[in-house]
Amino acid sequence: MANFWAGKTVIVTGAAQGQGAEEVCTLFDLGAHVIALDIHNAQSESWSAVRSRCTEDSSRLTIRRLDVSDEGTWEAFVTELAASCIAVHGLINNAGITLRKTVTETSPAEWRHVMSVNLDGAFLGTHFVSRVMSDHGAIVNVASVAGLTGYFSAAYTASKWGLRGLTRAAALELANRNIRVNCICPGMVETPMMLNANAQHDERKVRLFHEGNRQATPLSRGAHPDEIAKVAVFLLGPDASFITAADVPVDGGMTGGGIFWRIGKMTENL
């Protein structure tokens, strides 16, 4: 596997922290050249964990600021790649934000902001990066279990359902170049975003939200970011060569268990 990744370039968005940082470090450890993109400036302290882990042959790590919702920035970035004759093997559209508000609580501006990052960002990344992607490359979109079921967070849920549709459309179009496009749907992941208290949530509500997710997961825990990163890297790699247009839940059984798992759990000691 190390031989496969040597000399290959992979782009990861939302790469400074959490799942994105873990994806960067996993790919770097395998020998890939990783272009890590995030809204944070390259000099920001937010990159400290990535820099501290990717020290061996640091020339294989490129960090730069990029707003995934900005069409012009994407176009300029890809133009640079083309001029540098860098052929991209993989893209992980990981950048995303959350908003734990219902339909009536969410303002139109908040709706547009979440969509611009979670859905527009993945569209723009796929639209532009596919132009400089090698045939037999791969794209992984990071959705959520919220895109597989109902969830009270209106904008976040809609963006993740939309991301699954985008995945299928891109997979069909790019199949003639043998570029595979897949979607992973994480459940609860122990990242800063999971524990972040939005403005409308106090610390107690955040704890209850976290505990509710844990109890809804048959494995009774959240994932470590590396458990998500390993699936993303698998889908980019040769062992997933016949997988495309797929949704892959990485959720500890949350969606597969459905409501009946919870009902069984409630009644097992009666």
Are β-strands 88-93 and 33-38 bridged in parallel, bridged antiparallel, or unpaired?
Answer: unpaired
> Could you give the angle at the alpha carbon of 206 between the alpha carbons of 205 and 208, nearest 5°?
65
Give the HSE-up count for residue 123: Cα atoms under 13 Å, Cβ half-sphere.
Answer: 16
Asked if 121 and 73 count as a contact pair (C-beta separation under 8 A), the reply is no
Within 10 Å of residue 142's Cβ, how many Cβ atoms? 28
22: alpha, beta or left, given left = phi > 0 and alpha = psi -120 to 50? alpha
Taking the mean position of all CA atoms in its chain, how far away is CA 12? Answer: 9
The residue written with tokens 């990981």 in the block is: 94
Q: Considering the candidates 5, 77, 156, 161, report the single residue annotated as catalytic.
A: 156
Whether 151 is a known active-site residue: answer no
Q: Are 149 and 255 in contact (CB under 8 A)?
A: yes
E strands within 203-246? none
User: 68-72 long-range CB contacts below 8 Å, 24 or more apart?
Assistant: 68/13, 68/14, 68/37, 68/39, 68/93, 68/95, 68/117, 68/120, 68/121, 68/122, 68/124, 68/125, 69/116, 69/117, 69/120, 69/121, 69/124, 70/124, 71/124
d(CA 53, CA 211) in angstroms, rounded, equals 30
The answer to whether 124 and 118 are in contact (CB under 8 A) is no
Residues labelled catalytic: 156
